[in-house]
Structure formats: C-alpha cells, structure tokens
Amino acid sequence: MGTPNIVNFFGASATVLTVNTQTVATALDPALVIRYSDFAAEGWNALANGEELDPEKWITAIVKKIKAWSGANVDDIPNVVVTAPLVGLEQRNATLKRRYSYGVDIYQADTGTSEPDPDSV
C-alpha cells in the first residue's frame, strides 16, 4: 500500500489550503478548519519540511493536541480522552522504529453498541 494522502484519511472533499481562498460551507455540509499554527506546541514544523500535505503528520499533531487538553482536564466533562502513550520499539520495513501507542477513550451513554456513534458522544 502506498503512502496515504489527505483524501485517504479525511474523505473525498478534504484538502489542505495553502493560499488565501474561500471555503464554502452550509448548515447541511459544515467545514472543520484547523490551522497549522494551532499545533505549534506539538512540535510539528511541517512548513519547514514541506510536509503539510501528509495526513499522518496532521493526525499525530491532533492526537498530541487532544492528549495535552484532556490530560489537563480533571473533571468528567470530555467524552473523548487521549491518554499518555506506551512507548516501545518495533521492526517496520526492516527499520527499528519507536512506537507510541496512545489510548483513545470515547464515552457515550450505554446503548449496547460495539462502536461509538458520533451523534451520541
């Protein structure tokens, strides 16, 4: 399998905007806009490395951002919580790599289903 792109991870309408443009959204088709600058604290320097189109970089920054926020939140309010990673070493493509296994907990009312429903979170 080849290197994933933005569309693979986020869907057919996903794109990374790199120029001043207008995004059209409606009540029936809203758009989530996350600026690269919001991830400065996560240590991602995509603009220096030309990696702004790599969805794995975005996902890693998002996971770290949620972990930082949910780790600082001590009440039961958040329904999506990312816990500190378990760190290990693993052989991937003949290269020893460090693995970070984050826990992602999603809470919703008990409906007996095996997967969370975003409408119920």
Q: What is the mean pLDDT of the chain?
A: 87
Residue 99 pLDDT: 96
Long-range residue pairs from 48-55, CB within 8 A, at least 24 positions apart, any chain: 52/16, 52/18, 53/5, 53/6, 53/16, 54/3, 55/4, 55/5, 55/6, 55/8, 55/9, 55/10
Is residue 51's pLDDT more than 80? no
- Write out pLDDT tens, residues 57-83: 889 889 998 998 887 777 777 788 999
- Write out pLDDT tens, residues 109-120: 888 889 998 888
